[in-house]
Amino acid sequence: MAESKRTAGGLEGYDPSMFDKPSVTVDILVVTAGKRKKGGRADESGDGSGMKTASLRRRGSAKERVEPALQLLLVKRDNEPFRDFWALPGGFVGMHDELEDTARRKLAEKACVEGAYMEQLYTFGGVERDPRMRIISVAYLALVPEGAVRFEPGNTVSDAALFNVERREEGIVLSSAMGVEIKLESLAFDHGHIISVGLERMRGKVDYTSIIFELLRSKSDFTLLELKRAYDCLKGEESNLSNFRKMIMKRYLDQGFMEESGHTTKRNSVREAKCYRVRAKD
């Protein structure tokens, strides 16, 4: 069917050279959940594979309070334009490549993640967004489970890192474990704007979809506190535990989306906590 449409009659006089051909790229907003000291930064450490992974390294007192942190993957560009600027991972779309296939391939290359939740965010086509030529970017939002992002520099980037999203009086600031702090307007191209759009999309969707479950380490074994941390990460603010519990019960437990697993754990507290799981679809 597709081939018959492509070769349908009426194209004998069509001259494609009469029209400009802008290039198309995909940019991927890779989002995951992490932890950091209250008022501090998350830490990065090796995982034994030669690559980096985000984790929390304890410093000082064991009683130091930690808080959930929404984290984004950024890469430092090794080529012009914007050489040595931090940017979202992505790349050009080939003439015979599908958009989402390209985005997923880039996600696997830059973050070593396959099969993650991904949705198309928006199309960014500002005439002056790229100094090389007219380039239209289709941005994707990828939600990756906590601890699953691994990365290493590639052919077109010299470094890669996870950055905490910090909402300050002066606006959103991205901070890494290496002490690097970046304002959105200091990123390459229009990637700061892409991030702003993505953050607002997630803040809205968390209240009417099930995207919070995509940040969990395991959908078959989690506590309400772990689910709350994922929710707070996406909302960008700390929620009231009692109100959150009521909301979860009404939205997910009572509707049969999740259920008690029958197990308990002490991994987040000295007290036993019930474990839950996402209910398998019938």
* pLDDT over threshold 70, residue 122: yes
Q: What is the pLDDT of residue 64?
A: 63
Residue 134, classified by CB atoms within 10 Å of its CB into exposed (0-12), middle (13-18) or buried (19+), is middle
Most confident segment among 110-114, 159-163, 190-194: 190-194
Neighbouring CB atoms inside 10 A of 114's CB total 10
Cα(53)–Cα(35) distance, integer angstroms: 13
Could you tell me if 53 and 45 are in contact, meaning their C-beta atoms sit under 8 angstroms apart? yes
Protein fold of 219-278: Arc Repressor Mutant, subunit A (1.10.10)
Residue 37 pairs in a beta bridge with 66
Average pLDDT for 212-224:
96
211: left (phi over 0), alpha (psi -120 to 50) or beta: alpha
Q: Which residue has the higher pLDDT, 7 or 101?
A: 101
The two tokens of residue 93 are: 């779309």
pLDDT at 118: 98
| Assigned CATH topology for domain 23-205 | Nucleoside Triphosphate Pyrophosphohydrolase (3.90.79)
Q: In 218-257, which positions are buried (b, 16+ CB within 10 angstroms) versus exposed (e)?
A: eeeebbbebbbbbbbbbbbeeeeeeebbeebeeebbeeee
Is the confidence at residue 236, as pLDDT, over 80?
yes
Pairs from 120-124 (Cβ < 8 Å, separation ≥ 24):
121/29, 121/194, 121/197, 121/198, 121/201, 122/194, 122/197, 124/27, 124/190, 124/193, 124/194
Furthest-apart CA pair in the chain: how many Å?
A: 76
Global pTM?
0.85
Q: What's the pLDDT band for 278 if we cut at 50, 70, 90?
A: very high
Mean pLDDT throughout 126-145? 96
219-278: same fold as 23-205?
no
Domains of the chain by residue range: 23-205, 219-278
| CB-count burial class (<10 Å; 0-12, 13-18, 19+) for 30 | buried
pLDDT of 219 > 90? The answer is: yes
Provide the pLDDT for residue 150.
Answer: 83
Taken as a whole, the chain contains a residue count of 282
273-278/181-183 β-pairing: unpaired
The tens digit of pLDDT for each residue in 171-185 reads 999 999 888 999 999
Task: Convert the pLDDT of each residue in 27-72 to its tens digit.
Answer: 999 999 987 777 655 555 434 333 444 433 334 445 567 788 999 9
Please state, rounded to an integer, the average pLDDT across all residues of the chain: 87
Give me the residue label for tokens 């901070």: 175
More confident residue, 240 or 58: 240
The confidence band for 14, taking pLDDT boundaries of 50, 70 and 90, is confident
pLDDT confidence of residue 46: 39
With beta carbons less than 8 A apart as the criterion, state whether 229 and 145 touch.
Answer: no
H helix or E strand, kind and range, residue 227: helix 224-235
